Structure 1
Amino acid sequence: MPGSTSVQTSFEDLGQPLSEVTFVVVDLETTGGPPAGAGITEVGAVKVRGGQVLGEFQTLVRPDAAIPAFVQVLTGITNRMVASAPGVREVLPSFLEFAGFDRGAVLVAHNAPYDVSFLKAACELSERPWPRPRVVDTVVLARQLVDRDEAPDRKLGTLARLFGTATTPDHRALHDARATVDVLHALLSRVGNRGVHSLEDLSAFAATVVNPARRAKKHLAVGLPSAPGVYQFRDGAGRVLYVGTSVDVQRRVRSYFTASETRPRMTEMVRAATTVVPVVCATPLEARVRELRLIAEHAPPYNRRSKQPEKVSWVKLTAEAWPRLSIVRQVRDDTAAGAQYLGPFRSARTAELAVEALHEVHPLRQCTRRIPRTPTATGPGACVLAEIGRCGAPCLGPARGGQDAASYAEVVDAVRQSLRADASAALTHGQDRLRRLAAQERYEEAAAARDRLEAFLTTAERAQRRAPVAAAPELVAARRAEATPGWPGGGWEVVLIRYGRLAGTCLTPRGADPVPHIDALRATGEVVAPPGPGRPGLLVEETDVLLGWLEQPGVRLVSLEGADASPWACPVRGAGWARSRLRAAPVASPA
């Protein structure tokens, strides 16, 4: 047609071949309750690629609630079997590491929304981000590929009989996952006859409705680099609508124009977008950091994380004459006056639990009124907390039988130590309380007390691990570079960090002496001033990303400045130490 333009599709545009996709087939057994409780009792998973099994994962999980009798009969999993099993917070990290969703693995499940909802709830309970893997639901594929005359329904047992799976599903997680693997392979053999040969084709085929708005914008991905980096969707006025990152920018952006992307807000975003602006980065780490900074700078309306700084909470030890704990939304420039902050907490409720845990150990005042440095001789009497010994009543002053400034300062110093370096008091008090409640068979109260202590220790541990990175004037680290779409690998990935901020990164060529490259990186790296409390949300999130990179196996510390003033270590009796001991001695619960 006159005026029309045709574009010949390249082999790269065909997408990721199914034979190269890593599928992680997952099955969960649960207590039968809602996902919000994350009542998982067993996790089973099989990792496959190209028809070959790469590994298996199986573990029982101790749920917070008892398993109902009918569920025990159905699954064969009893309360006694899971009594000594790890909880979901212990299981989740090893499962996610096995699955490798953050490395591009695809989650497969039979009736996937059910399993995904419980995994999301488990991530929320563990305060971990959901990795947002691509999901393939074998139920959805079966509805389109298995006729009614072949099978009366799409249950896993029915499909297993139809396809003659090697393992018979029996409501045990690993057995059901193995059966689902065979069902998946049988369905993939059928879908190949319909022109589906890539992961993108499979997602489009499985979608019940393919939105035409996505396909109409597919040309926006033409010419984008196949390399690590950040991409920005922009509208006609140049406004940034959405920021994302990928190890392969072109492949990731192409996925927005297929049915694999089903989020309504992304459909709306793609409809408004007119251009995609890529930013090629030397390494995936640099891409992740640039993504954080661009989101903070532009606050794109379609990025959920752009609103995160407004949602996080901090626990503040105030800089008053008689300090107290308070929950605030931001860190102010009052640390020099004596204020101290702990956070960020992902929810106000978690911050409240941490405050409650500290109040159980340290008798700080909990009233919000201002108390003069020298309390007046007249005024209201002591509150209920003072009467039951939970507060020293500094508001009364020594003249009226209240706490004096010196003894209250000792309480405040103990709180500072709990926040900064020594969580032994919180652990000892918490363990004693848990033992007493368990001995009295007050298990629900014990679980609530444990949650409060866990909320405090989890965030305090992150803060104490983060502190050496944020305080170091300059840190250089390196690891062997992995191959990426834009780099063959073989050299060194070098990272320069200054005061918890990425100041520069580079990849050295294979076989080259890395020292000249490191010297050049230090000379040209970003100059970073010592951090203040100005924008803690961005600084903390970026520092956490860098800390995660530093803690990977194979990372070597090349040089470190400022170790004398700020030791490169976590406190010996810090929150991490206390948290490990809390988990090592679980509270008994009814069988």
Structure 2
Amino acid sequence: MSRAAATPSRWEAQRGFDELGRPLRDVTFCVVDLETTGGSAAAGSMITEIGAVKVRGGVVLGEFQTLVNPHAAIPAFIAVLTGITNSMVSDAPPIESALPAFLEFAAGTVLVAHNAPFDVGFLRHFANAQDLTWPGFEVLCTAKLARRVITRDDAPNCKLSSLAQVFNATTTPNHRALSDARATVDVLHGLMERLGGLGVHTLEELQTFTARVSTAQRRKRHLAEGLPHAPGVYLFRDDRSRVLYVGTSKDLRTRVRTYFTASETRSRMGEMVGLAESVTAITCATPLEAEVRELRLIAEHKPKYNRRSRFPEKVHFIKLTREPWPRLSMVRRVLDDDADYLGPFSSRKSAEKSLAALHDTFPVRQCSDRFGASPSRTPCVLAEMGRCLSPCDGGVDPTTYAAMVRSLRDSLIRSPDDVVDAISRRMTALADLERFEEAGVHRDRLATFVRAAARTQRLSALSRCPEVVAARREDDGRWAVHVVRHGRLAAAGVIPPGGDAHHYVDQLRAGAETVSDAPGPVPAATAAETEKLLRWLESPGIRLVDVEGDWVCPVGGATRHLAIHDAVTHSRVSLVPFDEQRLAPPVASPVR
């Protein structure tokens, strides 16, 4: 694919601490603790005290403490636990005054709390109640971090009181907000010191640390240096420059860095990182271009550690032949022979199910013999069973056989109603006889055929178009433009701010890749690539700039039958016990 010269994006212009992460010594933390009347703000519990300590580089910069009048009686057991009584808060400021003061104190810091979802949840609840804009703090939970670091040999649990003893905190937690915040500061510093020996030195590494990422993985985080903050594709390579793994991201540097410092716990990824010696980045104009390049690179290099999309050439098709007595056959590739094809199928098993559904509906011959217009042979067992019209022994005239083939062809390329009706009747009859297992076999055949027909019709519709140009305003406000030719991405770009949109699109089209049409329903790309393009073209906010050709699917096509089959599949998965759901077949997303 080609791409017009793009101006530097907001990602490429971004530099500074995000290059390697923000060193912990330079980050200002606000360690906060709350005392409340209960466990749920949504259920009516109120804040009775806020305590916070602002710290950077091990130095305390300031403290914040205030009691809060909850305008409700404090339950006796809470008063006993915290020592905060109704009389103590009677003259205290309400939350409407205390919260804005705290937010001003904490502005520009990283919030830290022990069991942060509780404390931050209360603060956000009352901010929303007061229509205050939540500053969007980054949040660090010392309880969550401790569970990744502290072992049973260190402490029996990760309660604040237990951790305070482990790290010899200078303040003993006593269920008062400021004291508990001071103790949490010591716990935070103790955790940071311990993790420093494991190579965790930045806020990003601290936030995403997991003990399941090995020290050896963390030592290779330098491989992310020099990668841009831009959408694109990354390739992990070994010491012989062989590609180990291909991935894609909207932010290359941030994504690659997670393989060394974040919660990347897949064992095969740990093995891959252990072999990696370099990371190559290919920047792309748009995330869609990155996804397409990823597919093409995986197909080209077939990396050991990519599990999907490595062998797009290993597909099957069902072919309705062009000969005096047409038949259905399963083939591996599409020829330019004017025949009709259904597919591609990613597995032979799926192709066989769809083929069985068609043979159940249309009694075309299943023999592979070639014979002329007036054959004279002995009929096969299928003819004797009534499952073949038996042209081999003159059991059917050419006109009748041709009419049946026309109905079969119509089911392949336009409407699957004949197949749906025939198999539905068969399922009903088997269910009435309580032969549910046999009925299930036919149900699966029908579902597989309907999905294959819908996929073929959608792929064919786009691949028939010599060119489709579309644009969409992305999250950053810029317009992404893509040129698709015969189902293949030919060019991608982003209109520069203030630029002439028409002139830019004309340039993009002029420099786009030349793409020739492919035979049959096959697009001039892999089916996976064309399906990605279709999902983007069908997404909200798309503007069609120009369409050359007719991009249409049949009104009575297979897509309208998908909803019921997807619902059945979903219900089957939901009825499987939780620990066995991984054995159920995947649910296909509805095609619009």
TM-score for both structures, normalised by structure 1: 0.61
Residue 579 in structure 1 maps to residue 562 in structure 2: yes
The 3 A distance-change label for structure 1 pair 481 and 315 is: same
Residue 312 in structure 1 maps to residue 312 in structure 2: no
Q: Which residue of 2 aligns with 1:494?
A: 481
Q: Which residue of 2 aligns with 1:250?
A: 253
Contact 1:431 1:582 survives alignment (8 Å): no
Residue 327 in structure 1 maps to residue 330 in structure 2: yes
The 3 A distance-change label for structure 1 pair 296 and 440 is: same
Q: Which structure would you say has the larger Rg?
A: 2
Larger mean CA deviation between 267-276 and 465-474 belongs to 267-276
Q: Which residue of 2 aligns with 1:422?
A: 415
Distance 2:230 2:365 in 1: 55
Contact 2:224 2:257 survives alignment (8 Å): yes
1:10-43 superposed Cα distances (whole Å, 9 cap, x missing partner)? 45534899xxxxxxxxxxxxxxxxxxxxxxxxxx
Unaligned runs of 5+ in 2: 1-15, 25-142, 160-183, 196-201, 576-592
Please tell me the residue identity of whatever aligns with 1:481.
E
- 197, 206, 230: which is aligned to 1:227? 230
Question: Percent same amino acid at aligned positions?
Answer: 45
The 3 A distance-change label for structure 1 pair 533 and 235 is: farther
Distance 1:358 1:190 in 2: 68
Larger mean CA deviation between 418-427 and 512-521 belongs to 512-521
Q: Which residue of 2 aligns with 1:476?
A: 469
CA drift of 1:275 comes to 2.3
Q: Which residue of 1 aligns with 2:553?
A: 570
- Equivalent residue of 1:464, what SS? helix
1:438-486 superposed Cα distances (whole Å, 9 cap, x missing partner)? 333333333322211110101211221222211111111111122xxxx
Q: Which residue of 2 aligns with 1:60?
A: none
- Equivalent residue of 2:311, what SS? helix
CA drift of 1:260 comes to 2.9
Residue 506 in structure 1 maps to residue 493 in structure 2: yes
Distance 1:502 1:321 in 2: 39
Residue 370 in structure 1 maps to residue 363 in structure 2: no
Contact 1:344 1:537 survives alignment (8 Å): no
Q: Which residue of 1 aligns with 2:276?
A: 273
Distance 1:443 1:511 in 2: 64
Please tell me the residue identity of whatever aligns with 2:221.
K
Q: Which residue of 2 aligns with 1:68?
A: none
- 295, 298, 309: which is aligned to 1:295? 298
1:80-134 superposed Cα distances (whole Å, 9 cap, x missing partner)? xxxxxxxxxxxxxxxxxxxxxxxxxxxxxxxxxxxxxxxxxxxxxxxxxxxxxxx
Contact 1:242 1:301 survives alignment (8 Å): yes
- 391, 394, 410: which is aligned to 1:394? 391
Residue 262 in structure 1 maps to residue 265 in structure 2: yes
The 3 A distance-change label for structure 1 pair 264 and 211 is: farther
Contact 1:314 1:351 survives alignment (8 Å): yes
- 513, 517, 526: which is aligned to 1:539? 526
1:158-182 superposed Cα distances (whole Å, 9 cap, x missing partner)? x9xxxxxxxxxxxxxxxxxxxxxxx
Q: Which residue of 1 aligns with 2:214?
A: 210
1:513-562 superposed Cα distances (whole Å, 9 cap, x missing partner)? 42221111112211212224798694322111100100101111111112
Please tell me the residue identity of whatever aligns with 2:248.
T
Please tell me the residue identity of whatever aligns with 1:449.
H
Distance 2:366 2:387 in 1: 9
- Equivalent residue of 1:256, what SS? helix
The 3 A distance-change label for structure 1 pair 376 and 530 is: closer
Please tell me the residue identity of whatever aligns with 2:453.
A
- Equivalent residue of 1:309, what SS? coil
Distance 2:439 2:204 in 1: 47
The 3 A distance-change label for structure 1 pair 515 and 538 is: closer
Contact 2:341 2:521 survives alignment (8 Å): no
Unaligned runs of 5+ in 1: 1-8, 18-137, 160-186, 483-488
The 3 A distance-change label for structure 1 pair 548 and 264 is: same
CA drift of 1:409 comes to 2.3
Residue 404 in structure 1 maps to residue 409 in structure 2: no
Please tell me the residue identity of whatever aligns with 1:371.
R
Distance 2:23 2:434 in 1: 55
The 3 A distance-change label for structure 1 pair 440 and 524 is: same
CA drift of 1:372 comes to 1.1
- Equivalent residue of 1:341, what SS? strand
CA drift of 1:262 comes to 3.4
Residue 13 in structure 1 maps to residue 44 in structure 2: no
Contact 1:228 1:282 survives alignment (8 Å): yes
Distance 2:510 2:244 in 1: 35
Q: Which residue of 2 aligns with 1:452?
A: 445
